[in-house]
Structure formats: structure tokens, C-alpha cells
Chains A and B, each alone.
Chain A
Amino acid sequence: MNCYDVIVIGGGVNGTGTARDCATRGLKTLLVEKNDFGSGTSGASTSMIHGGLRYLRTDVKTTKTSCLDSGYTQKIAPHLLWRIPFLMPVFGSGLQAKIYTELVETYLEAYDHFSVPLKNGRSHTRLDPNEVYRLEPGLAGGIHAALTFDEWGIYAHRLCAVNALSAVENGAEALNHTEVMGLEWGSAEGITVKLKDRLQNTTSKVLAKVVVNATGPWSPQVAALAKAEVKLRPGKGIHLVSDRRVSNIAIVATAVDGRQIFVLPFGNCSMIGTTDDDYYGDLDLLVAHEDEVEYLLQGIEKVFPTIRQYRWTHTTVGVRPTLFEWGKNEDDLYREHAIFDHSSEGAPGLFSIAGGKLASYRWMSEEMADVVAKKFENKNRCRTHIDPLPGAEAEVDLNVVSRKYQLPLFTVLKLYHRHGCRIEEILKETESHPSWKRVVCVCEPVLEAEVRYVIRKEWARNLSDIARRTRLGLGSCQGIDCAVPAAAILADELSLTAREIGAALQAFFEERWRSKAPVLRGRELAQEEITRHLLGQLEGELQRC
């Protein structure tokens, strides 16, 4: 039986971050993820490496650490980030609007103290109505003034993938589509961890001296495998995603219950988010509800009246692993994280880490790795805030790459935002396989070479994995155009049988369906007729009598 120093369960930001940290400190590490890296809460988040503006009022420490860590993230993975300028319009007139504007400005001034030096933010500015409408003509009338601040967006799916990749490059092993089914004590060598390979449907056992449960909202379930407890108050949140940019600046609005929501640019698309509701349903089968969709549209409509006319192609859904507190509104819940040592519950060597935010994942992972390292009396320093993540090791001149491989600069730029300097490694292959320059997904665009790369080097095992790594199939066609060619590449790389290809396509369309059904209306509904015929073609027919 394989024996590890530490097994990290969960391939979200916290699990991959912890695995990376443990591995760089020289611990023998195994990372297991039951679905795919980033497929849980992390990939469904708003993906903002924000400085914790919201917590400034109640919890300055969170704001400060958030800003600090945001600064680190910019250094270790600059290619995965983009700046998101925010616009906070103030409506109304007279004294009330004036006072409110002053208040907000004071608040943002305070935020500048953290965000500007620590996370390379821009100081807030105050715009008069003329300036505001010039910037965003789509805003509703009656604006008194607007304030700006900025945050950073990050490609969260890829952040998880590159953390896992970095862990492996530092000696760890990583398995996706592998679920932890049981934890047993009794062996002298450590904890026996039962694994199930969900693709092959096989089981195995491995040993570990320390097990870290970093399964986000699933952490109570995983802790329960050892009869231990993690108490969360899970909060479901959704986003709507459009087929194009609605605005170039993120716009803040107030929802009917007074919560702040926004429409923000995300890659080629825009996103509206988010909701926050207690959720105790099935974590593995999340769907947005129409009430949640309506809540968001209604809120944004007030500041951006044409919002319903845009084409909302799909939703994303996640559950926040918020720590449990009684008697508070969802939004006021404390975002800090906690590390649970389950030794007093009869599970020595098992730790859970939960809570926190994507923005502070690295810091949380460091704390977790500190605890683990101490167990092994490992004195190595944490390096995750200094060492570049895969893709950030070197600078690349995109113009040179574009000329060298005769690819449009835009394509190269998009590829760079996903893979950083490893773009060279991907494109090198097209020298011996010129046809791999073929664009498989036009929305993004994604080249055949990239699809092959993520299968070979980044553990993509099905179409949804490919979508998470490359954004293939997440644009306006939702896979009608690109799923079949991508499946063909997958089949070629993994030698899939016809039945397996059919199953892969079915599974992908199943996932797309759950994600788009909640916003299926207008042209999406008409397009769905075509998708359904395509499915009919894919399945083939049974012999009819």
C-alpha cells in the first residue's frame, strides 16, 4: 500500500493550495479530488481576488490580509488575473444623495489605504454624471455621482489546476475523479484512506500520516467519515453568464433586500452575481432556481435597464463553505476560516480547513501547511507567495509568438491568459502537427493543440474538464459546435470506444443543460431545439420493431 506523509482531500483552491504548499516543503503529498480540480465552489465563485472591501466595516483584519494576499497572487500568477474597475453609482438628488456620496467616498478612501499599496489597486475616483454616462451609456438616468474602485478577477478553474500542477512538479501526486470513500484508524503506519476511481469504477487504499480535509462545503460529509464534526452554514450562490460583454466596467447595484450585487466583465462575457441563501440540498446536483435568476435581473435592471435584453446563456452555481454562526443574516456571516484538529474526536491526524474566501486561499493553505509541517518537524519555510505558479516562470513576447506560429494575436493572447509562458510548450507541438492549429471552439477561441495539452498535461479526462481548463463550450453555442470535435480529440488521446465517446458527450450536455435550463428563454430556447436534435444524432437509435 502506498504511504504518504499527507493526503489532501479536495481539489478546490484550498486543497490544491495546501497540496502545493506541503509538496514545496518536501512532504510526500497526495491530492485527491472526486470530480475535477476547481469543479466545486472555487470554479463557481465570482472569481474575484478582492481585497475584502465588504469586511472593512466589521473586520479590518480580513481586509488587510485579503489585500496582502491579493498582492502575492498577482506576483505568482499574473497571467491569470485581470483588473476589474468597479463603478458604484449613487442615484437621487439633494442632500441625501450628497451625504451618501460622501459616506461612500470616505469608505473607499479608507479602502485605498490597503488596496493601493498591498494589491496594486488604483485609488478610488469620483465621477460626475456626465463622466459616468460617457463611460457607461447603458446606466439608468438620475445619477447624482459615481465612485470607482478596483479589484482583480482571476480564472479560478485554472488557479486550481495550476496549483495542482505545481504540487506535482514539486513531487506530489494528484488524482482527479477519485473520491475518498472512507477513513480508518488502526494501522500503525497511519490513516487508511479508501479511494474510488470514479471513471474506472475501481477502489483502492492508501496510507497517510496526516489527512487534510479541504472539501469546502463537503467538509462536514468528509469529516463524518471519521465520525468527526465540521459545522458549516452553507450558502448557495449563483451567477448568470452572458454571451458577450454587457459593460466594460463592473457596476454595483442593490438588490431588493439591500444586498450588493453586480454585473461584471468576465473574459469575453459578463457575469451577474450573486445570491446568498442557506442551502442544505444535494451538493452534487446544484441548479439555479428561477427565483434566484429573477432576484439578480431585477436588482441589476434598476441601474442597467436593458439587462434583460441580453442573452444569458448559462448559470454557475456554488455553495459557500461558511462557518456556522447562529442568528445572523447570510451576508453578515463571518468569512474567516478555521482549522479543525479532529484528534479529540478520536481521529488523530485528521484536520479540516473550511471557511475563508478564494482571495485568501494561499494564506489559508499556508496556515494549514504550517500545522502539517509541524507534525513532521519540518522546518522548511513556506514559498508559495514567492515561487511563481506554472506559467508565470517567464515573460513572453506575444507578438513574437504570434508571428512565429502565424496565429492571430487575439488567439495567442487568450491562450496566454490561460497558460502563461507555457504557451510555448503548447504551440511547439504544432510544428510537427500543423493541423493542431485548428480552432475547435470559436467563442474563445480554443485550438486543438490546447485541447490536447490539457488532456496530456492537466488531467482533463472528459469534456467538462476540458471546458474548465480552456472555457471550450461555455460560449454562446454551449457546445453545439465544439463538443463533437472536442470529443473526437479526447477519443484520440485516451483511445475511447464509441460508447465512451457517446457517454462523454451525454455527460457534457447533461452538465450544460443543468447550467442553462434556469435561463433558457428567447433565442436560447430556439437553439435548444437544435441541441436536442444533435443529441438524437449522437445517441443513434435502437432497432425499432
Chain B
Amino acid sequence: MLDVVVIGGGAAGTLAALKLASASKKVALVRKGYGALALCPGVVHLPRGNDKGGSSLQNSIALWRSALESGGLILEGGWTEDLSLMNEMGNIQRPAFALQSLARGDLAQWKGQRVALVDLEGLHHFPLERMREGILKNFGGLKQTDIEIRSLRFREWSSFGAVPLEVVSRGMDEVDLAMKLAQKIRDLVRRERFDRVGLPPILGVERHVEVYSIVQEIVEYPCFEWLPFSSGVVGLRWQRGIDPVLDKRGIERMEAKVVQPVSHKQRLSGVYVETSQGRSVLEAQNFILATGKFLGGGIPSSPPWKESIFGAPIYLGKELMGSRSAYSYLNPLALQPQPIFACGLRVDERMRPLNEEGSPLFENLHAAGSLLAEHDDTGSTGGMGCALASGYLAAEEILGGLA
């Protein structure tokens, strides 16, 4: 018999599973596909206004970090100061943590350095001068002459035949191609002295770790990638990169859709899961629900507003959403902010989703991630931080109960 079934394999579910496995619990992680995690640009923002000392937040990130690391992916950053990472337009994001290849672009470390930005003709929306301009404007203390742009013409670099970021990054998973491109980049920068070389976020998806290290070795300078416009390349890296780690830690992975509960009064005894092979029941002592919001699939995007699997009521703040239309929760006149993106489950102090009467749906069902109410995780508002921390908390509650 399983100790815990985790429903949802995004940030929150994955972290909860890792935490439970670290306490030697028998865990299965069921996911029907990829959610927001796979689309986010490989960075962790912390929720605004947090005291950063929150121990579950710290612990969760430490765990996320060590798990990624055992899969070869390195998460850099820290608690005391945010990173300053730029995108192609020179806009600056300030996440607390990021994958190493991105974190090495931290502008705070550029002072007194010479940085080369590699322009791959045809790949960028904006000319890289714009990025430089943006950086100089948005980040004080750097000089124009510190940042050099070096260009490769389209026919010199592109053997991929197509230019979208995703396509090029997948192409780079072929190590020969990555090596060839790295040599071209080396030829471009080797005659000069640089302290670091910036590249677009194309250094592979599945084989990112290998590709990144090959490229650095050949280019002979520390390399970094700048942030993508949410293209999913980097998000896919850690979504995929975490799978072998889950396997190593003995977490059973299932690609399936959880459709319905099997309950016995106040206790959940199992869930029905659906695959192309058919339906079956997955039984366990405890359950964690981390199915994300509209994008992940945790909340169906039309009324009545009920959580997808258990039918738990969805709240907007303290207000029950009921079955009014989406429109009634939107302000069509203002782009931002939109309250509906802060909707979700309400939970008790033990992270258990509540029914309309305010009591837990089941005594052994816990919830985590963007499915929880009162946090709009869109934009740069700390979605990942919240998802990880709440995944950790939910796992802790279960461990407390089991102990």
C-alpha cells in the first residue's frame, strides 16, 4: 500500500513528492501532463512581502535545489539579494534563484568586467543594441564599453533551418551541432579578453547540462543565457530534468489523469486514474492535490467553479465563487490586475481543502501550489516560491500525521 499519492507533477506536486520520499515514504506521483512549471523561464521568484526567513520556504528551496542538482541542474541564487537577470529587451527580472546558466548573467557581477553578448542573426526579435541600451538604463553602474555585441550571420550559424527559440534549443540537444556552434562562437570572441559571454536561451533542453558544459569548454569563457520571453525552453529543462531524480528516489511516476475519488466517509481511500489503457484505482493512506490553476487543469475554466477532481468549492478571497460566469469576476476595462487569477481552494491550518461548511473535505487530503486561493501567481509575483513552499508544507503535514 502506498503512503501517499501526489496528484499533479508541477512545482508543488514534485516538491511534495520529494519531501515525502526523503522521509522514506512510499510515494506515487500522478500527472496528466505539464502545467505552468514547464512554461516558466527557469527562475524562482519569492512571494512579495515575505520575510524570506520562512523556514518552509527556505527548506523547500533547499530541497528543490538539491533534487535538481542530483539531476545535474544547478540552481543558483540566495536569500539576501535577488538576482538581476535581463531579457532580450533589456528588461530586468529579479528572481531569487535561477538555473545556473541564467544566474551567471546576474548583472550585479558585471561591474568592472567585459561582457560579450552573442547576436545570432535571425534569432532575436530585437537588435541586441536594445538589450544593451536597456541594461544600461535599468541597471546603474555599468558602462557602454563594458558590454560588447558580437554577431554571427544567419548562414554562418544556422544549420537548424528554422529560427524559433524552441526549435533551435531542441536542435542543440544534438551535441555535434552544439559543438559546431560553440566553435563559431569561440572564433568570434577568442581574440579579445572577455570575462563572460552571453547567449540566447538555446543551450539544449533534454541535454542542457551536457550542452552547457561543452559550450563553456569550447568557448573558454564563462557563458550565460539571458531570459526568454516565457517561451518554455527553460521551464521544460527542469520539468524533464527532474524525472530521473524522482525515479532515483523511488518515487513511482504515473502518466495518468486522476478523475474521481474513492471515499469512505471522511477518509479518501483511493482515486480513479485514467490512462489510454483504461481506468484503475490507486489506493493510499494520504493524498496531495497539486493540480495547478486553469493552465495546469486544477480548476476547470468555466462555471460551476469546483475543483476538477473532488468538486471542492473555489474561493476568491473569502468569497465563494459558486456558478457565476467568469465575466463577473473580471474587470474588462483594466488589463491588470484580475482577481480571478487569485482564486482557488481554501485550506485549514493543516493544508486540507475545505468544503462550503468550512470543514476539511477529507481528513487525509492536502492541497498545495497555485491551486490555493489568495495568491495570483501570474506575472512575477512569486508563483514558484509559493508553489514550492506550499508543497513542502503539505508534505510536512502528512509526515506529522503519519508519525
Q: How far is the CB of B272 from chain A (nearest CB, A)?
A: 23
- Among A488, A502, A523, which residue has the most Cβ atoms of chain B within 10 A? A488
Tally of B interface residues using CB under 8 Å: 51
Q: Check A285–B333 contact: CB distance below 8 A.
A: yes
Q: Check A514–B333 contact: CB distance below 8 A.
A: yes
- Among A293, A510, A534, A536, which residue has the most Cβ atoms of chain B within 10 A? A536
A residues near B379, Cβ cutoff 8 Å? 532-533, 535-536, 539
Q: Check A533–B126 contact: CB distance below 8 A.
A: no
Please provide the chain B residues from 318 to 363 with a CB less than 8 Å away from any CB of chain A in the complex: 325-328, 330-333, 335-336, 338, 340-341
Q: Check B138–A540 contact: CB distance below 8 A.
A: yes
Q: How far is the CB of A342 from chain B (nearest CB, A)?
A: 34
Q: B214 at interface (Cβ–Cβ under 8 A)?
A: no
Q: Check B302–A517 contact: CB distance below 8 A.
A: no
- Smallest CB-CB separation from B125: which chain A residue? A488
Q: How long is the Cα–Cα vector from A520 to B94 in the complex, in angstroms?
A: 30
Question: If A517-B327, A521-B301, A525-B294 touch, does A509 touch B335 (CB 8 Å cutoff)?
Answer: yes
Q: Check A524–B301 contact: CB distance below 8 A.
A: yes
B residues near A502, Cβ cutoff 8 Å? 89, 91
Q: How far is the CB of A524 from chain B (nearest CB, A)?
A: 7
Q: Check B327–A290 contact: CB distance below 8 A.
A: yes
Q: How long is the Cα–Cα vector from A326 to B75 in the complex, in angstroms?
A: 71
Q: A513 at interface (Cβ–Cβ under 8 A)?
A: yes
A residues near B138, Cβ cutoff 8 Å? 540
Could you mark each residue 496-534 of chain A with 1 if its beta carbon is under 8 Å from any beta carbon of chain B, else 0?
Answer: 011001100010011001100110111111111110111
Q: B250 at interface (Cβ–Cβ under 8 A)?
A: no
Among candidates B89, B94, B328, B331, residue contacting A501 with C-beta atoms closer than 8 Å: B89
Q: How long is the Cα–Cα vector from A539 to B381 in the complex, in angstroms?
A: 13
B residues near A252, Cβ cutoff 8 Å? none
Q: B104 at interface (Cβ–Cβ under 8 A)?
A: no
B residues near A524, Cβ cutoff 8 Å? 301
Q: How long is the Cα–Cα vector from A422 to B256 in the complex, in angstroms?
A: 53
Please provide the chain B residues from 291 to 313 with a CB less than 8 Å away from any CB of chain A in the complex: 293-295, 297, 301-302
Q: How long is the Cα–Cα vector from A484 to B228 in the complex, in angstroms?
A: 12
Q: A187 at interface (Cβ–Cβ under 8 A)?
A: no
Q: Check A537–B87 contact: CB distance below 8 A.
A: yes
Q: Check B333–A535 contact: CB distance below 8 A.
A: no
Q: Check A533–B301 contact: CB distance below 8 A.
A: no
Q: B211 at interface (Cβ–Cβ under 8 A)?
A: no
Please provide the chain A residues from 253 to 288 with a CB less than 8 Å away from any CB of chain B in the complex: 285, 287-288
Q: A435 at interface (Cβ–Cβ under 8 A)?
A: yes
Please provide the chain B residues from 275 to 303 with a CB less than 8 Å away from any CB of chain A in the complex: 293-295, 297, 301-302
Q: Check B327–A538 contact: CB distance below 8 A.
A: no
- Among B94, B293, B380, which residue has the most Cβ atoms of chain A within 10 A? B380
Question: If A525-B301, A532-B378, A534-B230 touch, does A541 touch B332 (CB 8 Å cutoff)?
Answer: no
Q: How far is the CB of B45 from chain A (nearest CB, A)?
A: 9
Q: A491 at interface (Cβ–Cβ under 8 A)?
A: yes
Q: A102 at interface (Cβ–Cβ under 8 A)?
A: no
Q: Check A498–B230 contact: CB distance below 8 A.
A: no
Q: How long is the Cα–Cα vector from A388 to B1 in the complex, in angstroms?
A: 79
Q: How long is the Cα–Cα vector from A39 to B340 in the complex, in angstroms?
A: 30
Among candidates A518, A523, A541, residue contacting B92 with C-beta atoms closer than 8 Å: A541
Q: Check A526–B294 contact: CB distance below 8 A.
A: yes
Q: How far is the CB of B385 from chain A (nearest CB, A)?
A: 13
Q: Check A498–B301 contact: CB distance below 8 A.
A: no
Could you mark each residue 307-333 of chain A with 1 if its beta carbon is under 8 Å from any beta carbon of chain B, else 0?
Answer: 000000000000000000000000000
Q: B222 at interface (Cβ–Cβ under 8 A)?
A: no
CB<8 Å pairs between A and B, sample of 12: A290-B328, A498-B89, A498-B90, A513-B332, A521-B326, A523-B301, A527-B295, A533-B40, A535-B379, A536-B379, A537-B87, A539-B91
Please name 13 further chain A to chain B contacts, defined as beta carbons within 8 Å, in addition to the given A532-B379, A537-B91, A541-B93, sorted by A numbering: A285-B333, A293-B327, A435-B122, A484-B125, A487-B125, A491-B130, A498-B134, A510-B335, A529-B294, A532-B338, A535-B335, A540-B87, A540-B91
Q: A residues near B, CB below 8 A?
A: 285, 287-290, 293, 435, 438, 484-485, 487-488, 491-492, 497-498, 501-502, 506, 509-510, 513-514, 517-518, 520-530, 532-541, 543-544
Sorted nearest first, the 7 A-B pairs with minimum C-beta distance are A540-B91, A536-B379, A532-B378, A517-B332, A525-B301, A488-B125, A290-B327
